[in-house]
Copies of this chain bind each other. A is one copy, B any other.
């Protein structure tokens, strides 16, 4: 099934008809170059999807469709914000299958993201979800401190990993396969330029995070979360 995807709000679907917004109509016609009579897949971004056929101003539902492209585990990334490259983190991690991204303002974070950045990241996540053929659009929440992130986003997360460089700790790739099973949820934190402070590492350990290493090389703050997601996807899809 290779129809192109677009995300709708659940309330846009009334019976078998989806009223298209101006943005959606533009995207379908100008970007995806679809015309009246063409088919596409409308997704809610929350797991529901339909094959639709385009009319002049609407999309008519042909049939519901099951999209089975999600990882068998739920992954929350706590991403300590680098100065540059957050767009790439959101885009790549969405493609690979992240569930939630929590932008973290750690002690060494230099960036002070403006309010419209969040809207931008959410738009990138939606585009990347459409293009990678996911059924879920990841949630990107407002940036918060590490303390808030450890408190708010770790409830009910069965597995908690805190990636550090230069610490003598187990490899994430070596411990993950024996710890993860289907339907588990996990949360993984990655640092920014300069890494975590000692205080932050202690704080994470107190919050029941396992310290892990991503290998012997020093990964940039942009590369680390992409590597984390690649490993989680690799391990979980082979379970």
Contact = CB atoms under 8 A, between A and B. Distances in A.
Interface of A: 2, 68-70, 88, 91-92, 95-97, 131-134, 166, 171-174, 215-220, 222-223, 226-227, 230-231, 233-235, 237-238
A215 B97 contact: yes
Max chain B C-beta neighbours (<10 A), residue from A69, A96, A216: A216
Q: Which 7 A-B pairs have the closest CB atoms?
A: A173-B234, A230-B230, A174-B238, A227-B230, A132-B217, A69-B216, A92-B223
| Copies of this chain, whole number | 2
A107 to B, nearest CB: 19
Contact of A95 (B68, B217, B234, B235): B217
23 contacts: A2-B166, A69-B216, A69-B217, A88-B88, A95-B217, A95-B220, A96-B219, A96-B223, A97-B217, A131-B220, A132-B217, A132-B219, A132-B220, A133-B218, A173-B234, A174-B237, A223-B226, A226-B226, A226-B230, A227-B233, A230-B230, A230-B234, A231-B234
